[in-house]
Amino acid sequence: MKNRPIHIKAVLLRLEGTFIEQNQRALEQLKTDIGCPSASTLIEFIQSPAQLPDRSRILSNLEALEKKLAADFKVAPALAETIQYLTSKKIRLGIISHFGISLIRQVFNDSPSIDMGNVDLIFSRDEILQQKPDANLILCAASNLKVAVETVLVISANDTEIMAAQSAGAITVRLATRDKPEPMASPQTLSPKIYRK
Closest-CA residue to 85 (of 74, 94, 93, 97) = 93
Average pLDDT over residues 6-24: 82
Closest-CA residue to 86 (of 176, 21, 8, 189) = 8
| Cα separation, 59 vs 168, whole angstroms | 29
User: Confidence class of residue 188 from pLDDT cuts 50, 70 and 90?
Assistant: very low
pLDDT at 122: 92
Percent of the chain at pLDDT > 90 equals 22
Instruction: Go through the chain and tell me how many residues it has.
Output: 197
Domains of the chain: 10-22+74-196 (3.40.50.1000), 25-70 (no CATH)
| Cα separation, 77 vs 192, whole angstroms | 18
Bridge partners of 148, per DSSP, are none
- Residue 128 identity (one-letter amino acid): I
User: In this predicted model, what pLDDT tens digit does every residue of 131-171 receive, in sequence order?
Assistant: 887 788 899 999 999 999 999 999 988 888 899 899 999 99
Cα–Cα distances in Å, from 63 out to 57, 58, 98, 159?
10, 9, 11, 25
pLDDT higher than threshold 50 for residue 180: no
27 versus 65: which is more confidently predicted?
Answer: 65
The full DSSP string for 37-93 is -TTS-HHHHHHSGGGGGGHHHHHHHHHHHHHHHGGG-EE-HHHHHHHHHHHHTT-EE
| Cα separation, 125 vs 16, whole angstroms | 12
Q: Is-contact 145 120, C-beta < 8 A?
A: yes
User: In this predicted model, what pLDDT tens digit does every residue of 77-112 receive, in sequence order?
Assistant: 788 888 888 888 999 999 998 888 888 888 788 777
pLDDT higher than threshold 60 for residue 194: no
Average pLDDT over residues 34-63: 84
The full DSSP string for 111-168 is -TT--GGG--EEE-HHHHTTS-TT--HHHHHHHHHTS-GGGEEEEES-HHHHHHHHHH
What's the predicted TM-score (pTM) here? 0.76
| Cα separation, 100 vs 135, whole angstroms | 19
